[in-house]
Amino acid sequence: MADLFGEPEPERGARTRETETRGARDPARNTARRPLADRLRPLSLPDVVGQDHLTGEGGVLSRMLASGNLGSMIFWGPPGTGKTTVARLLANDSDYAFDQISAIFSGVADLKKVFEAARLRRSNGRPTLLFVDEIHRFNRAQQDSFLPVMEDGTVVLVGATTENPSFELNAALLSRARVLTFKPHDAASLAALLERAEESEGRPLPLDAEARQVLLRMADGDGRAVLSLAEEIWRAAGEGEIFDAAVLQEIVQRRAPVYDKGQDGHYNLISALHKSVRGSDPDAALYWLCRMLDAGEDPLYLGRRLVRMASEDIGLADPHALRVALAAKDAYDYLGSPEGELALAEATVYLAAAPKSNAVYVAYKAAMRSAKANGSLLPPRHILNAPTKLMKEEGYGSGYRYDHDEPDAFSGQDYFPEEMGRESYYRPTPYGREEWIGNRLSHLRELRARRDR
């Protein structure tokens, strides 16, 4: 469906008509059946809402237009933030031919046709801005096909993607294109779009103040969505009817959160959950847990991540935390949804409120570095087993002292390889249970020092 922030998806191999005209919207065009979002499409870069860092005064794209020199770009951002619209405006304001393809519906044959058409235009003195929607859908070989035509100036490539270009686009393409980030719309820019829609329609949205705020949240940062939802509301409203929040949600139903369990949304939200737990904020941690559950994340994945948090960020400051996390995972596995999700919430709150220590995590990494760096060193002979006469003759087990028979049940012997000497990896914090552990280890160090004299 055509809209303010995206073009209709073309049929396989098809391309949208080049932009040949400039200037104001033609009032003679039939607008009766065109969606609201399409009717409100911006006519110039300053009209674009919510991307001032790119299109506002002093913005990257504004400066690029002023210089008269367009370069290839990758537009990275969520749906409904203006990527297609901005690409069209750049072509229009620079007097470039605008050609558009979708990676979902195009193959190698379609790319060859696009490149040939661009070469013909260039021979006639007109450059081409090629807009590639969902460019991350092209495989690596298809992405490589853009390199020659970018380098020789056949096209200025503008690729649009909702996925992180660092992961989805190859290095050669990224080295030839500037990545520009489009931000999700905040409440202020969504409200501005609604005001623009009301001005265009000549009537206010039939919503009370609370319902209007709910509508902005439903749009979830998507400008196209907020206008589509507004259109639904106007269609549903009777004469003089004003909807409250409850009625609004019945009318438009509920938009699914923007969340891809395999991509950036997934990693951003699990990072927010983990760092909220680490930061000892149970309320924020619960919020991010619920955001992920509400978006359809696998609860067992969340249970496994809670186990990781317990061992990485709490550790021996509260050894009980790991048991709580494991019990929550097992409880969900046993009960399923929705009952089992409460166990995950309980563990989340417990972990966030628990004393924190990453001392074991740091010690583990340090010990691993030593293990890799020192090769296959043998343990000292006094702690080697000697099951045969030959091994005893070689000194295996000689001098070993059985700790339970020593004063304070502590021999103080060295257990590191003889070539290494003693190392110190684990440094307990003064928090929670680790305070006791630290005091215990300090006492043992004193005993060892006395026996070494």
Rg (CA), the chain: 32
Instruction: Measure the CA–CA gap between 370 and 115, rounded to whole angstroms.
Output: 56
DSSP lists the bridge partners of residue 73 as: 158, 178
Instruction: Measure the CA–CA gap between 329 and 318, rounded to whole angstroms.
Output: 18
- Residue 18: pLDDT above 60? no
Same domain for 224 and 92: no
- Residue 13: pLDDT above 70? no
Q: Is residue 7 part of a domain?
A: no
- pLDDT tens column, 54-108: 998 889 999 998 888 899 999 999 889 999 999 999 999 999 999 999 998 888 8
Residue 408 burial by CB count (10 A; 0-12/13-18/19+): exposed, middle or buried? Answer: exposed
Same domain for 163 and 72: yes
Q: What average pLDDT does the segment 21-42 reach?
A: 62
- pLDDT tens column, 199-233: 999 999 999 999 999 899 888 889 999 999 999 99
**Mean pLDDT of all residues belonging to the chain:** 87
pLDDT of residue 12: 38
Nearest to 193 by CA among 225, 238, 148: 225
Same domain for 143 and 53: yes
- Of 228, 252, 276, which one is at a domain's C-terminal end? 252
Same domain for 104 and 201: no
Q: Is residue 31 part of a domain?
A: no
The CATH number given to whatever domain includes residue 206 is: 1.10.8
pLDDT of residue 258: 59
DSSP lists the bridge partners of residue 181 as: 76
Helices 209-219 and 245-252 meet at what angle, rounded to 10?
40
What's the domain count of the chain?
A: 4
Same domain for 346 and 393: no
Structure tokens at 82: 């203006």
Share of the chain above pLDDT 70, in %: 90
pLDDT of residue 320: 97
Q: Is residue 313 part of a domain?
A: yes
DSSP lists the bridge partners of residue 159 as: 74, 132
- Residue 8: pLDDT above 60? no
Q: Is residue 419 part of a domain?
A: yes
Structure tokens at 383: 């702690």
**What domain range is 421 assigned to?**
376-452
